Amino acid sequence: MSKEWPLWEVFIRSKQGLNHKHVGSLRAADAKMAIENARDVYTRRSEGISIWVVESNSVHANDPADADAYFEPSDTKIYRHPTFYDVPDGVKHM
Amino acid sequence: METYTMSNFNNEELEKRFQEKIDKEIKIEPNDWMPDAYRKNLIRQISQHAHSEVVGMLPEGNWITRAPNLRRKAVLLAKVQDEAGHGLYLYSACETLGADREQTIDDMHDGKAKYSSIFNYPAVTWADMGAIGWLVDGAAIMNQVALCRTSYGPYARAMVKICKEESFHQRQGFEILTTLCKGTEQQKAMAQDALNRFWWPSLMMFGPSDSDSPHSAQSIKWKIKRFTNDELRQQFVDAAAPQADILGLTIPDANLKWNEARQHYDFSEINWDEFWQVLEGNGPCNKERIAARKAAKENGQWVREAATTYAEKRALRKTA
Ligand SMILES: [Fe+2]
Ligand SMILES: [Fe+2]
């Protein structure tokens, strides 16, 4: 077997105004083929109006094993949320 | 995908945390730690599932050019195309576990990996397209709906997408049979004949009986499977029996009877000898199916190579 086609991650915008969202992956020789194949397999029922493809080995990530510690600083800072604050009764538009 | 590690736990601690996550219905994602056996078990199940989607295209693909009218032809074509997509979603899910896609495919071609035994039965009449949609896709749906809650994230997401697409597959099959059953006597006989041939192989799709299913207990503990083979098979019989009544067809099982106490249909014991024979490669179409898949891979080889060369040349031209 000759060289395998690279793996691509597929992102689809389902409609104007929404984010592109990861839907899956596929193999293709190049970006153009990846986009065409993504159209054929991931948008057969009007699931999208825009496709991004990214070569999988270009995606970098944090280690999920450390996720608890890694994201802990944001859990402890409850004063970042509006519900942390006391607002006197009768105050409007705040 | 690359990850950046900050710390390490020992294996025992990791295994404990893993099972806790499973028990709490937290999905396992590709880069999460998992026991080797969990990974292996999943690769085996998902690749087997992927192979089934792909081999499953053969009996129906055979009828696309002979569909009785343009509507049926467009529908069958769309269904077969969906199955190709299902194969892709599943091979992709398998790859997230570190499996080599081409290797898993070669394993099937070499007889080392299985696919659903149902596709080793021939589709000899147009009514078989009806029976396959109704029963074979029906059985697959039963299994796949349960798998939408499987513990491995990419597998579960693939199942959700597949289930959405499957829902028309069973209906189009049932519609074919409804039409035949309302037709001439010959047409109805054709529908009955298809049911006679596909009923038992469809029940076998759920796999060996729980007592003979080696991976079952561990798969349930890890929530790879959410129901046992026998539980799903019973669900399927309970759903299909009244549907056969509506068609006016007779399920080929003299012992099929509603059991008021159990609130389920009773049915005869499956011919397990036939099941194992087909699984071992001795079904009516095993050799033909594998030969077709091998030919597809071999005959497409030059196309894949040409695409690679073209992509390389274009990349070179861009940097030049
Ligand atoms: Fe499918
Ligand atoms: Fe299907």
Contact between B165 and A45 using a beta-carbon 8 Å cutoff: yes
Contact between B101 and A41 using a beta-carbon 8 Å cutoff: no
Nearest chain B Cα to A61, which residue? Answer: B3
Mutate to test the interface with B, among A5, A14, A32, A59 (most CBs of B within 10 A): A5
3-state secondary structure of A10: strand
Query: Considering only CB atoms, which chain B residues are within 8 Å of A33?
Result: 307, 311
Q: How far apart are alpha carbons B173 and B134 in whole angstroms?
A: 5
Nearest chain A Cα to B2, which residue? Answer: A60
3-state secondary structure of B4: strand
Query: What is the dihedral sign for C-alpha A24, B49, B86, A33?
Result: positive
Side-chain half-sphere CA neighbours of B198 within 13 A: 29
Contact between B307 and A69 using a beta-carbon 8 Å cutoff: no
Min distance B144 CA to chain A CA atoms (Å): 18
**Residue B31 CA, ligand 1 centroid: distance in Å:** 27
Return the biggest CA–CA distance within chain A.
74
Contact between B304 and A5 using a beta-carbon 8 Å cutoff: yes
Contact between A29 and B5 using a beta-carbon 8 Å cutoff: no
Residues B156, A49, A40, CA angle at the centre, nearest 5°?
60
ipTM of the complex: 0.88
Contact between residue B141 and residue B83 where contact means Cβ atoms under 8 Å apart: no
**Residue B53 CA, ligand 1 centroid: distance in Å:** 5
Closest CA to B273 of B199, B230, B212: B212
Q: How far apart are alpha carbons B120 and B108 in whole angstroms?
A: 14
Contact between A66 and B32 using a beta-carbon 8 Å cutoff: no
Query: Considering only CB atoms, which chain B residues are within 8 Å of A63?
Result: 3-6, 31
Q: What is the pLDDT of residue B5?
A: 55
B186 touching A (Cβ < 8 Å): no
Contact between residue B95 and residue B171 where contact means Cβ atoms under 8 Å apart: no
Contact between B308 and A3 using a beta-carbon 8 Å cutoff: yes
Tell me which residue in A4, A25, A64 faces B102 most closely, judged by beta carbons: A4
Give whole-number Cα distances, B63 to B132, B143, B221, in Å.
12, 25, 41
**Residue B117 CA, ligand 1 centroid: distance in Å:** 15
Contact between A29 and B7 using a beta-carbon 8 Å cutoff: no
B158 touching A (Cβ < 8 Å): yes
Nearest ligand to the C-alpha of residue B79? 2
Q: What is the pLDDT of residue B91?
A: 97
Query: Considering only CB atoms, which chain B residues are within 8 Å of A59?
Result: 1-2
Tell me which residue in A1, A7, A69 faces B95 most closely, judged by beta carbons: A7
Q: Which residues of chain A have pLDDT under 50?
A: 1
Q: What is the pLDDT of residue A1?
A: 45
Question: Pseudo-torsion of CA A42, A47, A50, A51, nearest 10°?
Answer: -20
Q: What is the pLDDT of residue A3?
A: 77
Query: What is the dihedral sign for C-alpha B166, B172, B178, B181?
Result: negative
Min distance B165 CA to chain A CA atoms (Å): 9
Would you write out chain B's pLDDT as a tens digit for each of its 320 residues? Answer: 555 554 567 888 889 999 999 999 999 999 999 999 999 999 999 999 999 999 999 999 999 999 999 999 999 999 999 999 999 999 999 999 999 999 999 999 999 999 999 999 999 999 999 999 999 999 999 999 999 999 999 999 999 999 999 989 999 999 999 999 999 999 999 999 999 999 999 999 999 998 888 777 889 999 999 999 999 999 999 999 999 999 999 999 999 999 999 999 999 999 999 999 999 999 999 999 999 999 999 999 999 999 999 999 999 998 87
Give whole-number Cα distances, B6 to A14, A63, A69, A76, B159, in Å.
36, 7, 10, 20, 33
Cα distance from N-terminal residue to C-terminal residue, chain A: 65
Return the biggest CA–CA distance within chain B.
78
B101 touching A (Cβ < 8 Å): yes
Contact between A25 and B92 using a beta-carbon 8 Å cutoff: yes
**Residue B145 CA, ligand 2 centroid: distance in Å:** 12
